[in-house]
Amino acid sequence: MNIASATIALVGIVFLSINLAVNIQSIKSCQSSKSPDLCIYMGSSSNGLVSLMLILTLVELCITTSVSTMWCKANCCNLREATSSTPSSVESAMPPHERNSETMKIQP
């Protein structure tokens, strides 16, 4: 799931960057019949929203990458600890005082 989120974030960053570059060019060639100020206002609003989405997509990518890294480290470390600390016999599951009492009963 984290890999899919990181991939989608990367695609979003590419699309938003392209959109931001195209918006800047379209503002320069804007031909509004009502007012030239309308082109500037709409262009600035559009660029502001696209920039905000780009920043949030970058934050999403950073969070996804850090969560994936922590998950990978946690799973690798837990796997090594679990395999190295497995009990080898049934006696190891018994409390220490019961193990000693069993050996005492066997010896007459």
**pLDDT at residue 80, as a whole number:** 56
Across the chain, mean pLDDT equals 78
| pLDDT-above-90 percentage for the chain | 31
Which string of b and e fits 42-78 if b means at least 16 CB within 10 Å?
ebeebeeebeebbeebeebbeebeeeeeeeeeeeeee
Q: CA–CA separation, 54 vs 20, rounded Å? A: 9
Q: Is 87 left (phi over 0), alpha (psi -120 to 50) or beta?
A: beta
**pLDDT digit string (tens) for 75-106?**
887 665 555 555 555 555 566 666 555 555 55
